[in-house]
Amino acid sequence: MDRDTLAERIVRAPFHRWLGLEVEKADATGVELVMPWRGEIVSRADPPIMHGGVVAALIDTAGLYAVLAAGGSAIGTAYMHVDYHRPVVSGTVRVRARALKLGRRISVAEAMVYGEGPEPLASGRGGYFPP
Amino acid sequence: MDRDTLAERIVRAPFHRWLGLEVEKADATGVELVMPWRGEIVSRADPPIMHGGVVAALIDTAGLYAVLAAGGSAIGTAYMHVDYHRPVVSGTVRVRARALKLGRRISVAEAMVYGEGPEPLASGRGGYFPP
Amino acid sequence: MDRDTLAERIVRAPFHRWLGLEVEKADATGVELVMPWRGEIVSRADPPIMHGGVVAALIDTAGLYAVLAAGGSAIGTAYMHVDYHRPVVSGTVRVRARALKLGRRISVAEAMVYGEGPEPLASGRGGYFPP
Amino acid sequence: MDRDTLAERIVRAPFHRWLGLEVEKADATGVELVMPWRGEIVSRADPPIMHGGVVAALIDTAGLYAVLAAGGSAIGTAYMHVDYHRPVVSGTVRVRARALKLGRRISVAEAMVYGEGPEPLASGRGGYFPP
């Protein structure tokens, strides 16, 4: 699937709309999603730090879209692993993902989350079921 | 920490308030959190299926609270693994967690997510840093 | 599969024979495998500490056998997660596993590793493909 | 640590010697370990397929060495995740790893396992404790 198709598809999910997720880039080599900050996504308010579950949502979603962009098929998540490297603080958040394996029974992708700086704030991987 | 302390603490996090998370039970053997359904948490609207990131948020949060309830200390998540067993559909969602290891450098807890029925819909584990 | 069938099957794998793995218990509620110590399995010789890869082999194998004992089918591992709680030191090592989900596309089991004492030394989970 | 230091260190572990692990490359950007085939490492004899636990041992070890080569400190594994993409069949096996995060409390590395071909046969990541 190309960027336009994925951009149209991502806003169909109510949780993606609530997060404000957008598809910045998508091709066979990987995808990049961006998300604006919003006050409700934090686990601590002062300083605001993104909840680990929201970080996981970014990795889960980007991984599935990376499988789709690489020509694989994926309809749901089988499992996910997330490593939290540094707190995700306010500002635009980016997540980049690429497919590691397109499979008949499961496809695997890895993803990295970035803030304003060059260092990854979190990274992880997910396994996705075909329809 | 006992149930009342955790119940007071859980609503301090804006994302927990948005999810409507409540502490149903908490002692040294484990914790149980409950969450009402809300329309924005789904990845597909018809039938409504809870987004994998929201499921991950439940496991992440319940695991950390299980560490606190068991007398450990935990201030942030180091890593998390989630297995998605069945779609989480509308209705009250429960997550039960228990500490597996209280450590000086990391504590580990496991968690299971339930809907109305007896079978787990998702399960997983997290590692948590002390302050 | 019952205990005798699994006991016969486990020794077919050369790596299981090298590890000396035996099926102590196996029924629908779970399996227990035991392993004697041997000098080559350590990452540090003094004091001897079991290599993390051998611990992972125990979790991987016990999880797959738990799926088989519970009536599921499993022919290979899709993924595995291991948490290392304490060093595994010399003596007989036990691993107990139980199926969490028997699936058409993937089955999931969790496992815990024990030494001589009551506390788990490691724990984890695996996802297994049917044939 | 440089390649020579790691090459000297890897053979100190009895399990590494049994596996025949060698350090092919090691610098701040990553490490590469190679392993010859041997008959005892298989879970199925015909055709010979490497046991998932041995694959996990490669990922565990390469990840820890990648942390050391990048200037981090690591003395033991806190946790590990492995994805099995394709069967690892006979021949020389390679594992490449790189550090994702050097931390005061935990360091994280990712690793990929290769056989004779260009496609990864397995991949994963580990978290490592400093002394």
Choose among B33, B44, B36: nearest CA to B19: B36
Provide, as residue numbers in chain D, all residues whose Cβ is less than 8 Å from the Cβ of B105.
78, 105-106, 129
Percentage of chain D surpassing pLDDT 70?
100
Percent of chain C with pLDDT over 70: 100
Residues of B with CB under 8 A from a CB of A: 12-18, 39-45, 51-54, 56-58, 60-61, 76-84, 87
Residue A2 has pLDDT above 90, yes or no: yes
% of residues, chain B, pLDDT over 90: 95
Mean pLDDT of C84-102: 96
pLDDT tens string A71-117: 999 999 999 999 999 999 989 999 999 999 999 999 999 999 999 99
Give dist(CA B52, CA C103) in Å, integer.
Answer: 18
d(CA D117, CA D94): 10
- At residue C44, does pLDDT exceed 90? no
Q: How distant is the Cα of C14 from the closest Cα of chain A, in angstroms?
A: 27
Does position A46 have pLDDT exceeding 90, yes or no?
no
Secondary structure class of D2 (helix, strand, coil): coil
For chains B and D, count residue pairs whose Cβ atoms are closer than 8 Å.
Answer: 20
Residue D46 banded pLDDT, cuts 50, 70, 90? confident
B27 pLDDT band, cuts 50/70/90, is very high
Quote the minimal CA–CA distance from A105 to chain C in Å.
Answer: 7
Confidence at residue A45, expressed as pLDDT on a 0 to 100 scale = 81
- The predicted structure's pLDDT at residue B62: 98
Best residue in B21, B64, B80, B83 for a mutation probing chain A (most A CBs within 10 Å): B80
- Report chain C's mean pLDDT, rounded to a whole number: 96
Q: What is the pLDDT of residue B57?
A: 98
Tell me the Cα Rg of chain D. Answer: 14
Integer Cα distance of B24 and B78 in angstroms: 25
Residue D54 has phi, psi (to 5 degrees) of -70, -40
Tokens of B41: 């948490």
B57-112: per-residue pLDDT in tens? 999 999 999 999 999 999 999 999 999 999 999 899 999 999 999 999 999 999 99
Of the pLDDT bands very low, low, confident and very high (cuts 50, 70, 90), residue C86 is: very high
In terms of pTM, does the model score above 0.95? yes
Q: Which of D86, D123, D127 sits opposite A83 (nearest CB)?
A: D127
D contact test, residue of C55, C68, C82, C90 with most D CBs within 10 A: C82
Looking at CA atoms only, how far is residue D29 from chain A in angstroms? 15
Residue of A nearest to B80 (CA): A82
Within 8 A of D123 by CB-CB distance, chain A residues are 100-101, 108, 110, 125
| Helix-strand-coil split of chain C, %, nearest 5 | 25, 45, 30
Task: Find chains touching chain D: ≥3 CB pairs under 8 Å.
Answer: A, B, C
A77 CB neighbours in chain C (<8 A) are: none
DSSP sequence for chain B: --HHHHHHHHTTSHHHHHHT-EEEEEETTEEEEEE---GGGEEEETTEEE-HHHHHHHHHHHHHHHHHHTT----EEEEEEEEE-S--BSS-EEEEEEEEE--SS-EEEEEEEE-SSSSEEEEEEEEEE--
Please state the rounded mean pLDDT for residues C60-83: 97
**Chosen from A18, A43, A95 to mutate, greatest number of chain B CBs within 10 A:** A43
Cα A100 to Cα A114: distance, rounded to the nearest angstrom: 20
Nearest to A61 by CA among A129, A130, A126: A126
Which one of B12, B40, B64, B89 makes the best mutation probe of the A interface by having the most chain A beta carbons within 10 Å?
Answer: B40
Judging contacts by C-beta atoms under 8 Å, the chain D residues touching residue B79 are: 79, 127
Chain-chain contact of D78 with B129 (C-beta, under 8 angstroms): no
pLDDT at A1: 87
In the numeric block, the tokens 């749901």 are attached to A76
Chain B closest CA to A61's CA: distance in Å? 8
Neighbours of chain B (3+ CB pairs under 8 A): A, C, D
Are the beta carbons of B52 and A57 separated by less than 8 Å?
A: yes
Instruction: Provide mean pLDDT across the span C81-101.
Output: 96
Asked whether the CA dihedral C103, D50, C111, B129 is positive or negative, the reply is negative
CB nearest A54 (choices: B53, B58, B87): B53
Using a pLDDT cut of 90, give the percent of chain D over it.
95
D14, D57, D79: residue with CB nearest C53: D57
Cβ distance B54 to A53 less than 8 Å, yes or no, reads: yes
pLDDT of residue B68: 98
Contacts of D79 in chain B (CB under 8 A): 79, 127
Q: Once rounded to an integer, what is the mean pLDDT over residues A13-38? A: 97
CB contact under 8 A, D125 and A83: yes
What value does the mean pLDDT of chain B take? Answer: 96
Q: What integer is the mean pLDDT of A55-60?
A: 98
From residue D67, how far is each of D26, D30, D107, D125 by CA, in Å?
10, 8, 7, 12
Q: Which residues of C touch A129 (CB under 8 A)?
A: 105-106
Confidence of residue A44 (pLDDT cuts 50, 70, 90): confident
pLDDT of residue C45: 81
Residue C11's pLDDT is 95
Contact residues, chain D, for B129 at CB < 8 Å: 105-106
User: Could you tell me which chains touch chain A, where touching means 3 or more CB pairs under 8 A?
Assistant: B, C, D
To probe the interface with C, which of D11, D80, D113 has the most C CB atoms within 10 Å?
A: D80
CB-hemisphere CA count at 13 Å for B59? 33
Question: Is residue C104 helix, strand or coil?
Answer: coil
Across the interface, whether the CB atoms of D79 and C82 are under 8 A apart is answered: yes
CB < 8 Å to C81, chain A? 81
Q: What 8-state DSSP symbol labels residue A40?
A: G
| Token pair belonging to C29 | 């509620």
pLDDT of B9 over the 90 cut? yes
What is the predicted pLDDT for the residue at B22? 98
Quick one: pLDDT at residue B44? 86
